[in-house]
Amino acid sequence: MEILAFGVQSDEKPLIEKAFAGKHDVRCLDVFLNRDTAPIAAGYEVISTSVNADLGGAVLQTLAAGGTQMIAQRSTGFNNIDLDVAERLALRVARVSYYSPYSVAEFAWTLAMAVNRRVIRAASRTRDFDFRLDGLLGRDMHGRTVGVVGTGKIGEAFTRIAHGFGMKLLGWDVAENPACVELGMRYVDKEQLLAEADLVSLHVPLLPATQHLIDKDALALMKDDAILVNSSRGGLIDTSALVGELRAGRFLGVGLDVYEAEAGLFFLDKSLEGVDDDTLARLVTFPNVIVTSHQAYYTEDAVGQIIDTTVKNVGDYLAGRHSDNVLVPARPGT
């Protein structure tokens, strides 16, 4: 069988080809799955998609009409998939329920420290042989308070790093993580966490209940000199409200690896086209903001685990096996 993989990055392609070698042929495309590209999948029983694929109802209809029966998404998140439509169309959908939490947690800390210590500004200056320290004043993390919103595997890894810095630990989640409690984390309500934390980092999934979890009211609760980091999903933050707060001179720094309207932008080269997203264009002009292109997961370790799990998901589908990675069975009882 030949598998069609959409949205494959150049670094990812040899890893995918190696993982599928001896099992199935794989055709890798650098284009993302959307309404325009969905017809390419005609005749492919199994396809693999990236986190920025459009798997809404219209695309799923096109895939099903073309003969696709199984979608293996190469990500943990699945907010881009209309699962109800997939179920009606008898499409089996699987994701990667686990990969290295350290990749995202470490990158979240990279963003936090980069905005705290003004690394981008400093590096830009020294390229011009400007070695002044004006405007580069940061602060110690030791002894300060971190608020971890979401204390699952990634949130726990982030907390362990914070503990290593010697920070006071606040957490918010629907259930307490015993490992975080053992590290000294104190669970509080979201409002208290936002009000007390010097650094807030988001590690919750994007669900209807968490859409714009950090809205105008939540931002208003935060300290004027707080740092906000989001390496989870862009829709957790009301970006327009965030821009408003930044324009008012608030926050020591903001590090964003995700953006709520990133589809059609992130993972693509738009440098010669320009971007008509006024909110994003304004966001990247603030000197205390760093925006990266959804790369927190992008390590050899994590990508390797994602691909290996994707290969397993395809094998499970062909063998009629079920696993915890399956979001939608192809048919009742599978």
**Catalytic positions, please?**
233, 262, 294
Distances (CA, A) of 239 to 35, 53, 162, 278, 309: 26, 21, 26, 11, 33
Contact of 308 with 48, CB cutoff 8 Å: no
> Angle, to 10 degrees, between the axis of helix 300-319 and the axis of helix 101-116?
150
Quickly tell me which residue has 């001896």 as its tokens.
22
| DSSP for residue 131 | -
Q: Which helix (H) or strand (E) holds 26?
A: strand 25-28
Cβ neighbours, 10 Å, residue 279: 13
Cα–Cα distance for residue pair 104/27, rounded to 1 Å = 28
For residue 209, CA distances in Å to 54, 68, 205, 228 come to 21, 31, 10, 20
Closest among 272, 279, 276, 274 to 256, alpha carbons compared: 279
Strands 2-5 and 199-202: unpaired
Single out the residue of 3, 10, 19, 7 nearest to residue 306, CA to CA: 19
What letter does residue 32 receive in the DSSP assignment? P
3-state secondary structure of 149: strand
